[in-house]
Structure 1
């Protein structure tokens, strides 16, 4: 007996899978595992089978076609193929938690790819049709191109691979972006990326800000819960929170309270930034510290310019931007609204940073 992988598309209708399996059974083929991938063209069935040694690849293809299967792909397999795909994906995720730099090899193993290439520019977000590459978005910037000869990628494989990329990015970000911040007066805070679970704490932050502070941050009006939720998880960008650590007195919010929020939302080469600091924490250097981290992140993801929109009376934002050594700003005034745009020089990449190289 020999192990084979078979992949074929069948109509997603009752009884069609049983016709295919019956055709294989007539040739003495024992199905060990099966996965069903839903696609627009029908259900893609992925089998691991144990077939008699006398059967050839052509014999298996013929059996599949007699069972109403189409677009058949057949290849010899090994004993490790007995591990089902969900288990394999979990094992690779566990590896990435310990070693996020192994992402390229994890993607190659998960998908049986012939090449995994990181590119410095975004790619088309698609799983790829017959003969096409799969493109995965890299949340840290750029994209991954995945190539294999056959079979074609399915939406399920795309979702699993993108989940691995997102996991590796999260693992890398956690130690780099969760930092302890000590203000000039010795007060300690924690700065970390926001998540959707922070919505109640962020709403509380807004409740403890004066109308004047909210007006400077939101010239167009304070957002409701739905917009706040989107600010916490921008599709392209970063939201940072400053959280008061233990020992902070009640008049400053007490421990474990979000006391400031900084947002960076990217659109094309332009990144918009904004900072909201609770009144009791203003004029202590906290807004500038968060701003520095947003500027550094914008450089890392390749933003070409920064923009900020604020009330005309909010001169503190202009002063903060001026302190960061950025090129001269373009300032536009429209009644009570001020828009500031600054060119952003890219950060020098580390020597080992990949640029359009195969992983």
Structure 2
């Protein structure tokens, strides 16, 4: 069974909230209505002219018949039959948006052996996915690769996960991202270090910004269960001990912390602690 064109166009262009179609260009609507109305008008005129009715009756009959046909036949037919042509500019614009590359962050665990990275890059290339950046995090007997990917707009999360798994990855995760993901992690950490140097009390906010994580307030009975300083590929809770603030807890449920991120956060905490002690010691 062939798909209904009207349904497909409506699905592409209709508003998700109100269900209305975008306003079509008036010139195209006018041309479409003329294209549908003209044959009807000619046919009605040809039939009425051949009748033996009085002239006034012919005019009245033509007027009423043409009006009814335009309202009940021509306009709905134009909207239905020529809908794709009427909305062609909006369709082209929507398809350009749909085909525009989308940015994704991806993490996957690979075997620490020659050729592993080559296999996964070939798997991504087969789907026309471009690797914009890559960071490698060593692990026990494996490596966790973190990518920023540019993928065709029609690809979704499942297709990306399939490409990573086909390339030999495991424990793969992908998240939509923006161009901000291209910012170098080390550069961002240095910028936040300068912020902490100016005010060590900014440590919690700086670490939260560095990790794009949420600060968790400590509970009265102690740190949240399961929090730990060392992180693995599935850890989404990070604890950073400090001497004067107490343990700082950070959560990022949708994206596990990497060892490199944990190390940067701990170094920022050490810097803040050193600066805080130095300033306290320099006070008279």
**Shift of the alpha carbon at 1:18?**
1.1
TM-score by length of 2: 0.58
Residue aligning to 1:81: 181
Residue aligning to 2:230: 126
Runs of 4+ in 1 over 4 A off after TM superposition: 118-124
Determine which structure has more spread, i.e. the larger CA radius of gyration: 2
The total of aligned residue pairs comes to 180
Residues 1:157 and 2:257 aligned together: no
Q: Deviations over 1:238-275 (max 9, x none)?
A: xxxxxxxxxxxxxxxxxxxxxxxxxxxxxxxxxxxxxx
**Shift of the alpha carbon at 1:140?**
2.4
The 3-state SS of whatever aligns with 2:209 is helix
Q: 1:137 aligns with which of 232, 241, 246?
A: 241
Residues 5-154 of structure 1: matches in 2 within 5 Å? 5-40=105-140, 42-117=142-217, 124-127=228-231, 130-140=234-244, 142-154=246-258
Change (3 A) 1:174 1:119: farther
The 3-state SS of whatever aligns with 1:94 is helix
* Alpha-carbon distance between aligned partners in 1 of 2:193 and 2:216, rounded to the nearest angstrom: 17
CA contact (8 A) 1:115 1:148 kept: no
Residue aligning to 2:103: 3
Residues 1:166 and 2:270 aligned together: yes
Q: Deviations over 1:303-327 (max 9, x none)?
A: xxxxxxxxxxxxxxxxxxxxxxxxx
Unaligned segments of structure 2, at least 5 residues: 1-100
* Alpha-carbon distance between aligned partners in 1 of 2:219 and 2:259, rounded to the nearest angstrom: 22
The 3-state SS of whatever aligns with 2:267 is helix
Q: Deviations over 1:54-104 (max 9, x none)?
A: 111111111001100111111111111111111111111112112322222
Q: Deviations over 1:16-64 (max 9, x none)?
A: 0111111111111111111001122621100011111111111111100
* Alpha-carbon distance between aligned partners in 1 of 2:147 and 2:154, rounded to the nearest angstrom: 19
The 3-state SS of whatever aligns with 1:167 is helix
* Alpha-carbon distance between aligned partners in 2 of 1:46 and 1:130, rounded to the nearest angstrom: 14
Residue aligning to 1:177: 281
* Alpha-carbon distance between aligned partners in 1 of 2:218 and 2:195, rounded to the nearest angstrom: 20
CA contact (8 A) 2:108 2:171 kept: yes
* Alpha-carbon distance between aligned partners in 2 of 1:12 and 1:117, rounded to the nearest angstrom: 38
Larger relative CO (CA 8 A, sep 6+): 1 or 2?
A: 2
Structure with the largest fraction of helix: 2
**Shift of the alpha carbon at 1:2?**
1.1
CA RMSD of aligned residues (A): 2.1
Q: Deviations over 1:110-142 (max 9, x none)?
A: 212133445786774432562552111113252
CA contact (8 A) 2:235 2:257 kept: no
TM-score by length of 1: 0.47
Unaligned segments of structure 1, at least 5 residues: 181-359
The 3-state SS of whatever aligns with 1:28 is coil
CA contact (8 A) 1:127 1:135 kept: no
CA contact (8 A) 1:23 1:67 kept: yes
Structure with the largest fraction of strand: 1
CA contact (8 A) 2:236 2:254 kept: no
Residue aligning to 2:51: none
* Alpha-carbon distance between aligned partners in 1 of 2:130 and 2:232, rounded to the nearest angstrom: 31
